[in-house]
Amino acid sequence: MTASVIDIAGLYKTYDNGFSALADVNLAIDRGEIFALLGPNGAGKTTLINTVCGIVTPTAGTIHVNGHDALRDFRAARACIGLVPQELTVEPFAKVAATTKFSRGLFGKPRDDAHIERVLRDLSLWDKRDNSNRELSGGMKRRVMIAKALSHQPDVLFLDEPTAGVDVELRRSMWNVVRGLRDRGVTIVLTTHYLEEAELMADRIGVIRDGHIALVDDKTALMDKLGQKRLTVRLSTPLDRVPDRLADYDLALAGDGHALVYTYGRDGDAPVRALFDDLSRAGVAWSDVDTDQSSLEEIFVDLIGRTDDTESSP
Ligand SMILES: Nc1ncnc2c1ncn2[C@@H]1O[C@H](COP(=O)(O)OP(=O)(O)OP(=O)(O)O)[C@@H](O)[C@H]1O
Ligand SMILES: [Mg+2]
C-alpha cells in the first residue's frame, strides 16, 4: 500500500481528431492532500481529470485509484471518486435533497439520510433541500453538484473549476468546506484559474501545459524557490537616480524617488545586510523598510512565460 491515493503513469490521450491532449503524464496524488492543478485554457486539466474518472478513455498508460486499476476495474475505482465537473449539469426539475440521495444510490450505497443532511448542511443547502434545481442560483447549483459528488462518501474529490462564477463570499465558504473535507480525510484535487485560491488552499501544486506536467512541488517550496522578495526602503530624502555605488543591486526607484525597491531571493541568500552597509556608504538616509513576496500568480505567469521563451527559441 503506497501513500498515494491516485497513481497515474505514462498517460497519453489523443482525441479522435488526432489532437494530443495528454502526453506522458506521470502523477501521484498523496492521500489526504489538497492538490491544485494549474494550467492555461486547453492545457489538458479537464482531460486528465476525466480520464481518471472514466469519462475519457486514455490512449495509453495506467491509472490506479486506491490500488484499483481504473481501466480494468472501473467500478471499484470510480466508487472511490467524487467528481464535480467543469460544466454545470443539474436536472432542472429534481429537488436538491432528492437528487443528492439519488446520486448516492447510483453507487449502490445504502440509504443514509444523516450523511445527506450533513453534506447539505456543510454546503449551506439544507434550507433549499426541497427546492428544485431550476429555482437555485448558479452558485447554489454548483454546490448541489458538490453535494452529489460527496453523496457516496468518496475518498477523493475532483473539483474542476469549483469556484468559477462564484462570488467572493461564497468562494470563501467553499474553501472552508474543502478544508473541512480534507480535515476529515478526503483527498482533494482541484483545478482553478484563481491563483489566489491555489495559494490559499493547496498543499501541492502541479502545472500542466500542452498536455505535459511541467512541474509538481509543495506550494511553500515552490514559492520559496521561484518567488521573489521585495524590500522597499523609504528614503528620508528623495533621489532622482539610483546611486552608482549601488549599481550591483537590483534596485529601482519608486514613489517619485521617495523609495528604493530591492528585488531578491530567487537564488539563495539575499545580501540585505550588505545593501544597508552600501546605502550608508553612499550617504543614502532611510526612514522605514517594508518587505513583501511575489504571489503565486506572479510566479505562474513568469513560469508560463518562460516556457514560451524556451519553445520559441531555436
Ligand atoms: N472531445 C475532444 N475532441 C478533440 N479535442 C478535444 C476534446 N476535448 C478536449 N479537446 C482538446 O484538448 C485540449 C485540452 O482540453 P481540456 O478541456 O482538457 O483543457 P483544460 O486545461 O481543462 O482547459 P480549460 O482551462 O479551458 O478548462 C484542448 O486543446 C481541447 O481543444
Ligand atoms: Mg477544463
Give me the pLDDT at residue 285, please. 93
Q: How far is the CA of 275 from the centre of ligand 2 (A)?
A: 46
**Mutate-to-test residue for ligand 1 from 17, 25, 46, 51, highest number of ligand atoms within 8 A of CB:** 46
Look over the chain and give the mean of its residue pLDDT values, rounded to a whole number.
89
Chosen CATH of 228-293 out of 3.30.450, 1.10.3300, 3.30.70, 2.60.40? 3.30.70
Global pTM reads: 0.81
Cell of 129: 433541500
Task: For domain 4-224, give the fold.
Answer: Rossmann fold (3.40.50)
From the CA of 194, which ligand is nearest? 1
Tell me which amino acid residue 56 is.
V
From the CA of 13, which ligand is nearest? 1
Give me the pLDDT at residue 166, please. 76
Give me the pLDDT at residue 149, please. 95
Domain coordinates in residue numbering, the chain: 4-224, 228-293
Q: How far is the CA of 45 from the centre of ligand 1 (A)?
A: 8
CA distance 47 to 52: 9
Give me the pLDDT at residue 75, please. 93
For ligand 1, atom 31: residue with the closest CA: 42
For residue 217, CA distances in Å to 205, 206, 214 come to 6, 7, 10
CB 274 within 8 A of CB 249: no
Atom of ligand 1 nearest to the CA of 13: 12
Give me the pLDDT at residue 40, please. 87
Q: How far is the CA of 192 from the centre of ligand 2 (A)?
A: 9
Give me the pLDDT at residue 267, please. 57
Q: For strands 212-218 and 204-209, give the pairing.
A: antiparallel
Q: How far is the CA of 155 from the centre of ligand 2 (A)?
A: 22
For ligand 1, atom 2: residue with the closest CA: 15
Q: What is the 3-state secondary structure (H, E, C) of the chain?
A: CCCEEEEEEEEEEECCCCCEEEEEEEEEEECCCEEEEECCCCCCHHHHHHHHCCCCCCCEEEEEECCEECCCCHHHHHHCEEEECCCCCCCCCCEHHHHHHHHHHHCCCCCCHHHHHHHHHHCCCHHHCCCEHHHCCHHHHHHHHHHHHHCCCCCEEEEECCCCCCCHHHHHHHHHHHHHHHHCCCEEEEECCCHHHHHHHCCEEEEEECCEEEEEEEHHHHHHHHCCEEEEEEECCCCCCCCHHHCCCCEEEECCCCEEEEEECCCCCCCHHHHHHHHHHCCCCEEEEEEEECCHHHHHHHHHHHHHHHHHCC
Q: How far is the CA of 44 from the centre of ligand 1 (A)?
A: 6
Give me the pLDDT at residue 101, please. 96
Q: What is the pLDDT along the chain (314 residues), one digit of tens a residue?
A: 457 999 999 999 999 999 999 999 999 999 999 999 999 889 999 999 999 999 999 999 999 999 999 999 999 999 999 999 988 888 889 999 999 999 999 998 999 999 999 999 988 899 999 999 999 988 888 889 999 999 999 999 999 998 877 778 888 888 888 998 999 899 999 998 888 888 889 999 999 999 999 999 999 888 777 777 788 999 999 999 999 989 888 899 999 999 999 988 755 566 788 889 999 999 999 999 988 877 777 777 777 765 544 443 33
**Residue range 116-161, pLDDT digits in tens:** 999 999 888 999 999 999 999 888 888 899 999 999 999 999 999 9
